[in-house]
Copies of this chain bind each other. A is one copy, B any other.
């Protein structure tokens, strides 16, 4: 039996209370997302996750993937799990009904994705990348291309991949060398891509690769990269499957974690050229790919939440079971959940997870309003918020997931270090999250450059204003816990304001300043956002305490206070470090390291 159960009560609380799903439901596009529909979706997702996906998680870790006869053989059981996933209609959840989608809000999709990624992150990467492929094609492809590929990707009959990285071109995509030669109605691609997640498998009849490459007349650098769609199998004019395109997996990497997910070296054009079709304008591929990457960045942030939740559930079960030592005031030996330090670790996990969940869901709600809001001003306001939060969701949630999965192992003591226990897998799997889809440093540069400096801090000031309102409301509460939260939140907001002001003041003085403070700024914004949203959660919980759900709601308040005392308290140190600037960081010569 599975050791993962979807935390539906907290998921629902976050959807309804913090992400304001009732408001989203009022938008014309989402009127069918009734409470009953959403409840049924969450229940069914929880079932598939617990019964099918979660039990395969250790299987994928143990057996990994192999390349046999130029094709990837995934772990036992993954193919039929994917079938069940498609049969349930899950790939279509967030997409437009016009092409077979179910048209549910991004916010609901985020909740469901949280569940998949907790159950089996290696498996869930496959539909996650397909989702990104759909988003990119929906926004940028011609109708002819859409007609050819979109519906089967939305239904999950086919899957999609992202092909960016090459050995010399990682964070720096300007260095991409894969070339595309024009032919009559298509292009021929030649080159090698690395780190291609689910680049090949046996789940589906076809795989649709999104590939960055250079045209012969491309200018150097990032302004010379074009985006192509390259199917594994060519399509006959009638849409049936034709011959194998000239694209093959060469090998799969031997990785620290996510063994269940094949990370492929993909070869394009070894035997005459891989047929591809241009998406959008020539040389504009990077901008288009960013659509896909931004979607994936939110999704990877959610993975940080998910893997932490999975690790938490495992550690909690162990802490409730494992007998060790004694405590004052109790006879005999106790389960370790009674020891203060084990509680400290469980509370760090629980409160960190609830803060991440709040941030991921609230960011998704902003995405829904940004796309489907009633008027241009509303859409623009939410788009600005979504853009501000995206690098924070990706950067902060994935960094926090390192700390929380670490604690998951620590709670297990010596058993945590033994692979069969399973706690270590979550730690190893989590380790990729701060790297792929842009390292934390890359997210941080996005936050600083495009989201803070470009508008001179305007969007951030608006966010801080909202935070202050919550801190003020909490300050007027009669609840002792909420008073503590308000005080810590006030200190945290002040620290954030100080750091932002310092940055705006110093960014021009020294070229190294933005990059040198960027990651600490991501952590600071994420930490304070978590405190803000948990303060909101505590206020809402307090107002409902006389309901049947009092046990859950009072835990919500306590957890918010713990977060304020143990995480939010870090804000002032982060701010102090940011305001120390770049001098000591940049002073050494290369030889002095």
- Please list the residues of chain A having a beta carbon within 8 angstroms of any beta carbon in chain B: 165, 168, 170-172, 174-175, 194-195, 253-257, 316, 320, 323-325, 327-329, 333, 337, 339-344, 346-347, 350, 402, 406, 409-410, 413-414, 416-420, 424, 427-428, 431-432, 434-436, 439-441, 444-445, 481, 484, 511-512, 514-516, 518-519, 551-552, 554-555, 558-559, 561-562, 565-566, 569-573, 576-577, 580, 582-593
Contacts and interface: CB of A to CB of B under 8 A. Distances in A.
Contacts of A174: 325
Contacts of A558: 584, 587-588, 592
A51 to B, nearest CB: 24
B516 A340 contact: yes
A585 to B, nearest CB: 5
Given A519-B344, A551-B592, A254 B419 contact: yes
Given A511-B329, A551-B592, A418 B255 contact: yes
Contacts of A481: 584
Given A341-B444, A424-B256, A413 B435 contact: yes
Contacts of A515: 339-341
A323 B175 CA distance: 10
A441 B577 CA distance: 28
A431 B435 CA distance: 19
B414 A165 contact: yes
Nearest to A334: B172
B333 A555 contact: no
A417 B257 contact: yes
A238 to B, nearest CB: 40
A350 B257 CA distance: 27
A380 B515 CA distance: 50
A552 to B, nearest CB: 8
A320 B555 contact: no
B419 A432 contact: no
7 contacts: A171-B324, A255-B418, A340-B515, A410-B439, A558-B592, A569-B573, A573-B573
Given A256-B424, A435-B416, A593-B350, A555 B588 contact: yes
A442 to B, nearest CB: 9
A516 B346 CA distance: 12
B584 A328 contact: no
A565 B593 contact: no
A255 B420 CA distance: 8
B569 A580 contact: yes
B593 A316 contact: yes
B168 A323 contact: yes
**Most B C-beta atoms less than 10 A away, residue of A175, A316, A417, A590:** A417
Contacts of A320: 590, 593
A327 B511 contact: yes
A428 B256 CA distance: 9
Contacts of A571: 573
A340 B520 CA distance: 12
Given A350-B593, A592-B551, A343 B516 contact: yes
Contacts of A340: 512, 514-516, 518, 582, 585-586
Nearest to A515: B340
The A interface is mostly helix, strand or loop, or mixed, namely helix
A170 B402 CA distance: 25
A343 B586 contact: yes
Contacts of A327: 511
A161 to B, nearest CB: 16
A255 B417 contact: yes
A449 B515 CA distance: 43
Given A434-B410, A516-B343, A569 B562 contact: no
A168 B322 CA distance: 9
A591 B554 CA distance: 12
B427 A409 contact: no
A577 B566 contact: yes
A413 B512 contact: no
The 4 A-B pairs with the shortest beta carbon distances in the complex, nearest first, are A340-B515, A565-B580, A341-B441, A562-B584
Contacts of A172: 324-325, 333
Nearest to A580: B565
Contacts of A518: 340-341
Given A555-B592, A584-B481, A325 B171 contact: yes
Contacts of A324: 170-172, 175
A537 to B, nearest CB: 14
Contacts of A342: 441
A256 B587 CA distance: 37
Nearest to A313: B593
A519 B341 contact: yes
A424 B432 CA distance: 11
A437 to B, nearest CB: 11
B347 A585 contact: yes
Contacts of A328: 511
Contacts of A566: 577, 580
A22 B409 CA distance: 43
Contacts of A406: 402, 431
B577 A565 contact: yes
A585 B583 CA distance: 39
A344 B255 CA distance: 26
A252 to B, nearest CB: 11
Given A570-B573, A577-B569, A588-B558, A256 B419 contact: yes
A584 to B, nearest CB: 4
A170 B346 contact: no
